[in-house]
């Protein structure tokens, strides 16, 4: 994996030129019967959230709760050649005070370099999805994620940063006698100026902006022949820098995040166990004398149990934990340093829920969460995080449709 990452790092700057070459080549060989491969799909999710304290996706702590999570996506794909595909997806997302915008989720050229009986590999160029864990690359589609709200290790406060990158992806799928293996390696630039991440790390919306450098991610996956066991290990090396604004007391600092994520899923009849463990080595340096260097290690993990009550109904139980600093799990040092409550440095979430799919294209979900800690709360929905309550309850509903 390291060798392939170095290859992308060396040649990643040529992706725009190479993309243009592929598009021109495809345009000259495009056949009318290629339109037979055209596919259009989409989805819409509408959520409702009610909390006893604190806010999630809008003013959820009000008596009426909040309907301020709406997700709409439309995607299309076509294969002008047997070994060449084009795909794109546009998404509109309203999420409380965090976002209210439409974006290009992905737009890429998929060139299959080799397609043999037991293996297939190729490259994708453009805006490509980030391969982290089981659920990141399809996190907007309710039918593919494990619950209404994702486990904490999927970094909801930094979701815009990890949705995808502008660059390229190498992929390999291989069939063997013991199961199916897959490999995805990305190199490219992530989104600039993620405000929630800036507030989370720097403590406020500063005058300057966070800028992305070229980052690298990879995922190695395995699934046995019966499909009962899935395993994946994901790695990411993300680098950013801070560009100071006018009258800014911060210097041009550097940020780096090294992710290592292990994912395991086991099906046992009507019971499915899913667990993931994430460890992040963070480095925040060179911001000046007013912001000392800081290199904490973060940790998140969860275990979820799904039980099929029928072909249409599932019960869910999950325990989810996140620590901002493994050397300060109870947050006492963080509280001394920032004057914020110690429970701002961690989150422990116990959830029970139901998933009902009356039709293949409809999904209704309900969840109840009992939460200790507020490290995953959005600053946009909770401007005064120091006033957030340590123990709080969340009830969530979501209706989803796809076509």
Q: Report whether pLDDT(162) > 50.
A: yes
Cα–Cα dist 1/8, whole Å: 11
Cα–Cα dist 363/356, whole Å: 6
Q: Minimal CA–CA distance to 191: which of 124, 131, 122, 103?
A: 103
Q: Report whether pLDDT(95) > 80.
A: yes
Task: Please give the pLDDT value at position 297.
Answer: 97
Q: Which domain holds residue 157?
A: 2-402
Among 24-38, 81-95, 108-122, where is mean pLDDT lowest? 24-38
Classify burial at 386, counting beta carbons within 10 Å of its beta carbon; exposed 0-12, middle 13-18, buried 19 or more. exposed
Cα–Cα dist 142/250, whole Å: 40
Q: Report whether pLDDT(22) > 70.
A: no
Cα–Cα dist 36/145, whole Å: 30
Q: Report whether pLDDT(193) > 80.
A: no
Cα–Cα dist 200/377, whole Å: 10
Chain mean pLDDT for the chain: 90
Task: Please give the pLDDT value at position 197.
Answer: 81
Give the side-chain half-sphere CA count within 13 A for 29: 13
Mean pLDDT throughout 161-170? 92
Cα–Cα dist 83/108, whole Å: 14
* Euclidean distance between the first and the last CA atom of the chain, given in angstroms as a whole number: 36
Among 67-76, 242-251, 324-333, 349-358, where is mean pLDDT lowest? 242-251
C-alpha distances in angstroms, 5 versus 62, 163, 170, 212? 48, 19, 10, 17
Q: Report whether pLDDT(123) > 50.
A: yes
Positive or negative torsion for Cα 341, 347, 350, 354 = positive
Q: Report whether pLDDT(205) > 90.
A: no
pLDDT band (50, 70, 90) for residue 12: very low
Collapse the DSSP code of 217 into the 3-class scheme (helix H, G, I; strand E, B; otherwise coil) and give the result: strand
Based on C-alpha coordinates, what's the Rg of the chain? 22
Per residue in 241-259, pLDDT (tens digit) is: 999 988 888 999 999 999 9
Per residue in 246-293, pLDDT (tens digit) is: 888 899 999 999 999 999 999 999 999 999 999 999 999 999 988 889
DSSP string computed for 64-122: T-EEEEEEEEEEEEEEEETTEEEEEEEEEEEETTTEEEEEEEEEEEEEEEEE-SSEEEE
Are the beta carbons of 161 and 193 closer than 8 angstroms? no
More confident residue, 378 or 205: 378
Q: Minimal CA–CA distance to 89: which of 191, 163, 185?
A: 163
Task: Please give the pLDDT value at position 31.
Answer: 52
Task: Please give the pLDDT value at position 33.
Answer: 66
Q: What is the dihedral of CA 371, 373, 376, 377, to 10 degrees?
A: 90
Task: Please give the pLDDT value at position 4.
Answer: 42
pLDDT band (50, 70, 90) for residue 2: very low
Mean pLDDT throughout 383-394? 92
Are the beta carbons of 392 and 53 closer than 8 angstroms? yes
Q: Which stretches of 244-341 are assigned E, i.e. beta strand?
A: 254-268, 271-285, 297-308, 313-323
Mean pLDDT throughout 113-134? 96
Q: By percentage, how much of the chain surpasses pLDDT 70?
A: 92
pLDDT band (50, 70, 90) for residue 62: very high
Per residue in 317-338, pLDDT (tens digit) is: 999 999 999 999 999 998 988 8
Q: Report whether pLDDT(109) > 60.
A: yes
State which of 90-104, 198-212, 304-318, 373-387 shows the largest mean pLDDT: 304-318
Tokens 């959820």 belong to 60
Q: Which residues contact 20 (CB under 8 A, 6 or more apart)?
A: none
Q: Minimal CA–CA distance to 47: which of 74, 62, 68, 72?
A: 68
Collapse the DSSP code of 341 into the 3-class scheme (helix H, G, I; strand E, B; otherwise coil) and give the result: coil
Cα–Cα dist 383/59, whole Å: 12
Q: Report whether pLDDT(136) > 50.
A: yes
Total domains present in the chain: 1
Q: Any idea what the CATH number is for the domain that residue 17 is in?
A: 2.40.160.10
Cα–Cα dist 381/23, whole Å: 43
């Amino acid at each position: 994996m390291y060798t392939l990452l170095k290859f992308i790092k060396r040649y990643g700057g040529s992706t725009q030129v190479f993309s243009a070459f592929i598009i021109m080549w495809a345009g000259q060989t495009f056949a009318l019967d290629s339109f037979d491969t055209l596919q259009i799909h989409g989805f819409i999710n509408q959520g409702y959230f009610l909390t006893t304290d604190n806010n999630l996706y809008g003013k959820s702590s009000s008596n009426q709760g909040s309907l301020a999570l709406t997700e709409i996506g439309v995607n299309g794909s076509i294969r002008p050649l047997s070994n060449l595909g084009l795909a794109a997806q546009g998404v509109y997302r309203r999420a409380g005070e965090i976002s209210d915008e439409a974006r290009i989720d992905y737009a890429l050229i998929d060139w299959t370099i080799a397609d043999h009986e037991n293996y297939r590999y190729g490259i994708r160029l453009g805006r490509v999805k980030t391969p982290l864990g089981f659920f990141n690359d399809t996190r907007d589609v309710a039918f593919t994620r494990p619950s209404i709200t994702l486990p904490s290790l999927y970094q909801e406060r930094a979701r815009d940063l990890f949705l995808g990158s502008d660059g390229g992806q190498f992929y390999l799928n291989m069939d063997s006698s013991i199961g199916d293996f897959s490999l995805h390696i990305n190199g490219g630039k992530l989104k600039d100026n993620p405000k929630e991440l800036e507030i989370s790390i720097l403590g406020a919306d500063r005058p300057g902006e966070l800028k992305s450098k070229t980052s690298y991610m990879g995922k190695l996956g395995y699934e046995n022949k019966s499909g009962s066991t899935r395993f994946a290990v994901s790695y990411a090396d993300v680098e950013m820098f801070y560009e100071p604004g006018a009258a800014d007391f911060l210097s041009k600092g550097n940020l780096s995040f090294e992710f290592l994520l292990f994912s395991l899923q086991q099906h046992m009849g009507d019971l499915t166990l899913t667990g993931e463990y994430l460890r992040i080595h963070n480095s925040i340096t060179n911001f000046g004398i007013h912001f000392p260097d800081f290199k904490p290690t973060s940790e998140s993990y969860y275990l979820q149990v799904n039980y099929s009550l029928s072909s249409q109904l599932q019960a869910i139980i999950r325990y989810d934990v996140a620590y901002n600093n493994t050397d300060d799990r109870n947050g006492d040092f963080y509280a001394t340093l920032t004057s914020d409550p110690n429970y701002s440095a961690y989150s422990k979430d116990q959830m029970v829920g139901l998933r009902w799919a009356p039709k293949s294209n409809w999904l209704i979900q309900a969840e109840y969460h009992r939460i200790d800690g507020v490290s995953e709360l959005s600053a946009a929905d909770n401007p005064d995080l120091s006033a957030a309550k340590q123990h709080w309850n969340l009830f969530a509903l979501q209706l989803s449709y796809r076509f």
